[in-house]
Every structure is written in C-alpha cells, then in structure tokens.
Structure 1
Amino acid sequence: MTTALIEQTLGSLACRIPGATRVFRQYKLDFCCGGDTPLRDAAMQRNLDAQVIAGELAALTGEPATEPDWRGEPAGALIEFILERFHERHRDQLPELIRLASRVEQVHGNKPDCPTGLAEHLWSMQQELESHMLKEEQILFPMLQRNIQLPQTQGPIAVMRYEHDQHGAALQRLAELTNDITPPANACNTWLALYRGLEELRGDLMQHIHLENNILFAQAH
C-alpha cells in the first residue's frame, strides 16, 4: 500500500485522500505548484522518509471526506466553490493582515525578530492576487463554464499556472520573513493574531492553487 502511494504524485494524492493536504503542509511538501512531483521525489528533495509520509497517508484513507471529490463534479460547481471559498476569502483576509502587520512593524520594529517588510510584502501579494483572480473571473472561468475546450483555453491556463508559481514564491518569502510563521515567545496579542491569520492565508492559498492546478485545469481538455 505505502509503496504504491510513494510512486503517485502529490497532486493526485491530495485529490484522492481526505486530509492528505494537511500532512503535506506539515512536511512542507508543495502539493499545489509542485503537484506533478511523485511523493518519492518530493520527500527526497527535502531529506524526508517517503515511507513514513506514505504510512500517514495510508492511515487517512478510511477517513470520511470533509468536502466533495471535485474530480467527479462538473467544472461549474468547482468554479462556484473556488469563487465563494477562496476568492471572497482572500479579499477579506489580506486588508486585515496588512493592517496587523503594519501595526506589529510600527510597535516592535526595534526587535530583532520583528517581521520587517511583511506589510509591504502582503500588499504586493494582494495586488498580484487581485489581478490574478480578476483574470480568472472575467476570462478563464467563463470559458470553462461554457465548456470551451483546448486549444482556446490553453493560453489562459498557462498564464494562470505561471502566476500560481509566483504565488508559491510569495508564500516562500512570507515564510522567510516570519520564521516560517512562528511567533516569538514574547509576542503580543496583535502579533499572535497576525500569525494565525497568515497561517490561515497560507493554507487557503495552497488549497486554492491545488484545486485549480490539479483538478480544474487538469480536466480542461
């Protein structure tokens, strides 16, 4: 069982096993932008034991799914879910995170573990995400909802995948600025609230990219 799991890609495992994305986030395996990478190779790149991770995934296979298996749903249903669950959520999350980050930098800027530059980075992420989501909402999603096939959708999908890679790089920079979103021992309530929100944003954005790259775009043919 675990040997078979090791040969499968992170994206396919994330699609098939409820809770797999939680395990991948725990081990810092990139199942969204790096969804085409087999578990064996992804684990090797991070000096992890693929058998241990596969064992954890195998233990999850009997767990009840918390959301539908989107591979079996129409593209229109998945698009509606993405719009409500992620596009609206990101638009709510980022302004508040920018406000909190500005406050932390303002009050604690003299401390060595202050995430200096975080507010500016989050502002850049907000601009890039907003531009990206508008392109999906105005161009690509309507094409997919009308069941327009390749090659017409190939260009827009390639652009979205490229921008997803940029979002992945932005999340990596976010981790670098915040000690992997780990607050210091003496963090105030604002600092703690900021990092809780950043953890939520990271999880949401990775799930968002995973659903598009590994299911929605993969099925557009």
Structure 2
Amino acid sequence: MTDTPIAPETTIRDLAATLPGAAAILRDAGIGFCCGGDLSLQQAAEKAGVDPSALIARLRDSSSRANADAPQDFPGLIDHILTRYHATHREELDTLVPLAERVERVHGSHAEAPLGLAEALVALRDDLESHMVKEERVLFPAILHGAGAKMAGPIRVMTEEHADTTGILARIEHVTHGLRLPEDACGSWSALYAGLRKLGDDVVAHIHLEETNLFPRALAS
C-alpha cells in the first residue's frame, strides 16, 4: 500500500488502521472510530469540536516521526522488525490473552464488559504468529540474500494478510467500546486496556514500516 493521505476527506477508520500514532491522537481528541469510522476527518473533528487543521498537523507530525529509529540497511531493518515488533507482539499477547479472560470472567455482567475480547485476541495472536513465521522463515532470508525482487508473490500475500490483521484490530476496538474504561474499572481492566492501546499502536507501526519501507525497497533491489 501507499501512505494513507492525511486529508480532511480521509476516513478516520483508514487513519486509525494505517497511520502510526493516529489511534492515540484521535482518542485524545475525543474521536471514536470503532462505530463512526466512516466519518471523514473533517466531519469527525467538527463533531468533536476540534480544529481539523490542528488535528491534521498532529497526524502529519506523528507520521513523519514513525519508525524514525529504524535502520535503513536490510540486515539492520529486519533485525529491528524482529526485535521491536515480532518479539514484542508475542510477549505482550502472552500477557494480554489471560488478562482479557480474567476481566471477562470477573466483570462479564458489567454493562461495558469487553465480551468477546479474549477470543479476538486469540485470533490476533494466531494471525500474527502465522504471518511472522512466514516472514522469518521465507521472506526475510530471501531479502537478506538479495532475492527481494523475486518475492513479489510472497510480499503480495503478506500485504493481504496485513489487511486481515487490521480487521481484527477493528474487532478489538469494537468489543472494547473504543477502549473506553468505565469509571469503576479495576486495576486489571485498566492494565488490560493500556496494554491493548500499546499493542494496537505497535501493530499499525509494524505494518506501516513493512509496507512503506521494507517491501518497496526489497522489490526494487
């Protein structure tokens, strides 16, 4: 994919799904995107009483700083993806799945309980694990051996799988009511949602780095 345009007519769903840091910025502005994601940035900003121009400036700044610390050589970049994202996703999901199960079990009768969250997180864990193993065993070694230009087919599959992943993130956003904590949320519930915010932001940044940096450069090498 190409970078999602940050323009008044861009939908907030597209921004949250593809632009690193956008989800946090939108939430901070009081803009939810789990149900009203079809609104344009202009419409959502006006509805929330936020200056659209200022919001666009924040989003552009976030985009320009995304993955600024990533190395540009292939060995360094791939190692960065493996350590910063692959290993981190695995570690965090190992913590978040049982935490979600506990919150659903203890607070299942609460009107704002995130029912279905644990199931969605298991789906995300399985989706990411399958995807990352393919990258680790096939795609990344090929790129490191200078065969990136021959990997158009596998890269296309990886990009299609990224779309499936963002669909699961949207499902998590929906069952958690936009990651909105109730006033009486316990510590476990608060920790769960804090972890989900970081995980979601990381996954979007991970996908963005591959699709706007690693994949195009590999195909052109």
Q: Do they fold alike, i.e. is TM over 0.5? A: yes
CA distance, structure 2, for counterparts of residue 126 and residue 65 of structure 1: 23
CA distance, structure 2, for counterparts of residue 104 and residue 57 of structure 1: 32
CA distance, structure 2, for counterparts of residue 45 and residue 160 of structure 1: 33
Report the equivalent of 2:114. Answer: 115
Report the equivalent of 2:171. Answer: 173
Deviation at 1:69, TM superposition (A): 5.9
CA contact (8 A) 2:99 2:192 kept: yes
Q: In 2 relative to 1, CA 55–122 (structure 1 residues): closer, same or farther, beyond 3 Å?
A: closer
Partner SS state of residue 219, structure 1: helix
Q: Does 1:206 align with 2:207?
A: no
Report the equivalent of 1:68. Answer: 69
Please, which of 46, 50, 53 is the counterpart of residue 51 of structure 1? 53
TM-score (norm 1): 0.75
Q: Does 1:26 align with 2:28?
A: no
Deviation at 1:27, TM superposition (A): 3.0
Deviation at 1:75, TM superposition (A): 1.7
Report the equivalent of 1:192. Answer: 190
CA contact (8 A) 1:6 1:50 kept: no
CA distance, structure 2, for counterparts of residue 154 and residue 139 of structure 1: 13
Report the equivalent of 1:13. Answer: none
Deviation at 1:56, TM superposition (A): 3.4
After superposition, where does 1:98-137 map in structure 2 within 5 Å?
A: 98-137=97-136
Deviation at 1:54, TM superposition (A): 3.9
CA contact (8 A) 1:93 1:201 kept: yes
TM-score (norm 2): 0.75
Report the equivalent of 2:145. Answer: 146
CA distance, structure 1, for counterparts of residue 110 and residue 78 of structure 2: 44
Which ranges in structure 2 are unaligned for 5 or more consecutive residues?
1-5, 11-18, 28-39
CA distance, structure 2, for counterparts of residue 153 and residue 179 of structure 1: 39
Tell me the percent identity.
Answer: 37
Partner SS state of residue 81, structure 1: helix
CA contact (8 A) 1:181 1:195 kept: yes
Q: In 2 relative to 1, CA 45–143 (structure 1 residues): closer, same or farther, beyond 3 Å?
A: farther
CA distance, structure 2, for counterparts of residue 192 and residue 47 of structure 1: 27
Residue type at the aligned position of 1:146: H
Deviations 1:186-218 (A, max 9, x none): 101111111111011001111111100111012
CA distance, structure 1, for counterparts of residue 148 and residue 77 of structure 2: 17
CA distance, structure 1, for counterparts of residue 209 and residue 67 of structure 2: 15
Deviation at 1:120, TM superposition (A): 1.0
CA contact (8 A) 2:45 2:52 kept: no
CA distance, structure 1, for counterparts of residue 82 and residue 118 of structure 2: 25
Q: In 2 relative to 1, CA 121–56 (structure 1 residues): closer, same or farther, beyond 3 Å?
A: closer
Deviation at 1:219, TM superposition (A): 1.2
Report the equivalent of 1:217. Answer: 215
Could you list the structure 1 runs, at least 4 aligned residues long, displaced by more than 6 angstroms after superposition.
63-66
Number of aligned positions between the proteins: 191
